[in-house]
Structure 1
Amino acid sequence: MTDLNALFRQRIGLPEEVEITFDLLDQILVSAAKTIPFENFCIVKHRPYPISRESLIRKILIHQEGGLCYELNMLLNFFLIEHGFHMTPMRGIVFNHETQTYLPIGRTHVTLLMTHEHQSYVIDTGFGGNLPLTPVPLTGETVTSGNGEFRITPGDGEHGNYVLEMKMKHKHTDWRIGYAFDTQQLITNLSELNTVQQIISEHPDSRFNRYPLITRRTDQGQITLTGTSFTQWEDGIMTKEPIDRIRFEKLLSLHFGLVY
């Protein structure tokens, strides 16, 4: 079996001798956000694949690609389980702030539920640029990271029994809904991830099957590249550059080390 522990540590720059503890999770989440991009290339290229522990290792750790929520969070799930954490993946539904409704695509966001010392937390490294970068407790307590403030509040029941809310640094002045999730509807079989992948690939309302998108965190903020633009956030200041296909390829190689 492929050595997930060694390969994951190598990908995010974590020495082998460092013990994986709860207090280290913030560092792991920040390092993963900077080194493993959120991207949809397999979906846009119509190249879905069976999701498994080995296929995720091959794609993200060996081939040095990124992925969407069901890939990034599941890889982290397997890594943390190896280090004794109690992890359970679950499906959420993302809120659309333009329409002020939950996405019609349904429960296609895969996130992680962690139980540690009788307390439950959401761990998420697959929510694009809106990553908490720290465990978020289900108690309602507000936690703060370099990406902003985050909390979990009671849900409406219809979409889930909890809601992840966020106040992104330099972007939001008030609380915004990220997604709802239900702790009673957990993922118990990897086949559900293939279902999520299929919906994201084929649903007409999917936001990830139209054009290439890749983003990752940087020391100064965040960079996002699409087929038509390159956006940088540096210390709260945003710059956006329109680009063509040639420029896209150059920026993809320069900032992400990938070829489309």
Structure 2
Amino acid sequence: MSKLTSLFHKRTGIPENEKITFEKLNKVLEKTATSIPFENRAIIDNNKREVTKENLTDKILGKNQGGLCYELNPLLYYYLLENDFNAVLVTGVVFNQAKGEYTAVGRTHVAILLDYEGERYLIDTGFGANLPLKPVPVSGETVSSRNGEFRIRKADIEQGDYVLEMKLKHKDSDWRTGYAFDSRRPMKDFANLNEIQTIIAEHPESSFNKNPLITRLTENGNITLTDSTLTQWKDGVVTKENIDHGRFKELAKQHFGM
């Protein structure tokens, strides 16, 4: 077993020598979502590093930190390759729900496409609390998990040829757009990940370069920490606590091990 896979299993609580099959990817995605937070501290603290396999392994698996989509999904991608899956990275454009349009920061979302037995699936562990927790077939079939319902719609738009749609449990009554992605343009040069990091860190309309954000799924919902609030969803019930800077550090350690 490789170093990355061994450390990944240790971080996520998967038995070290467990053989990962396609049927076990649901378990892998669940454990990843509950153990590795989606967070932007490196951006906020201006502590960016080159996005490489070695640096991702050190940051997320060695130092037990989290990351954003351009870190979390590439790490999972390397893990999938090491476990004999056929996967590629793709980029997409997130839909801004408040404005009703795709974000101005452009093609900065990173996700994974996986081919298995003649079918193609979207895999994503880097979309905040909006995670499918299962491979989503690009054929359009709806998948359901404890986090809600997810499906992919074929599209012919500037942002890509497919759109991820979701209906989050306890939050959405109707389908809404998550992001569009382009399956025709798999990432061949991983230097693009560093370009995405730069855009997210510097673009004036980036939502991740202004205030700290840490979130992860829990066994019965999710938890989100910012520099002003702690929000928890438990079995569909939401609680929110206003906090100060000192409390932020305390809660980051308590709930996220940071």
Aligned counterparts of 2:250 and 2:182: Cα–Cα separation in 1: 41
Identity of aligned residues (%): 51
Letter in 1 for 2:217: R
Matched with 2:254 is 254
Q: TM-score w.r.t. structure 2 length? A: 0.98
Once the two structures are superposed, residues 92-139 of structure 1 have per-residue CA deviations (whole angstroms, 9 ceiling, x without a partner) of 000011111000000000000000001000000000000000000000
Matched with 1:222 is 222
Matched with 1:157 is 157
**Deviation (angstroms), 1:156:** 3.1
Once the two structures are superposed, residues 62-95 of structure 1 have per-residue CA deviations (whole angstroms, 9 ceiling, x without a partner) of 0000000010000000001011100100100000
Once the two structures are superposed, residues 154-194 of structure 1 have per-residue CA deviations (whole angstroms, 9 ceiling, x without a partner) of 12321110000000000000000000001111111110000
Count of aligned pairs between the two proteins: 258
Task: Please state if 1:146 is matched with 2:158.
Answer: no
SS in 2 for 1:20: coil
The 4+ residue runs of structure 1 with deviation greater than 2 A are none
Matched with 1:129 is 129
Matches within 5 A, 1:1-260: 3-258=3-258
Aligned counterparts of 1:129 and 1:255: Cα–Cα separation in 2: 15
SS in 1 for 2:209: coil
Aligned counterparts of 2:68 and 2:52: Cα–Cα separation in 1: 14
Aligned counterparts of 2:58 and 2:214: Cα–Cα separation in 1: 19
| Structure 2: runs of 5 or more not aligned | none
Aligned counterparts of 1:182 and 1:257: Cα–Cα separation in 2: 35
Aligned counterparts of 1:157 and 1:184: Cα–Cα separation in 2: 13
Letter in 2 for 1:156: D
Q: TM-score w.r.t. structure 1 length? A: 0.98
Aligned counterparts of 2:190 and 2:199: Cα–Cα separation in 1: 15
| Structure 1: runs of 5 or more not aligned | none
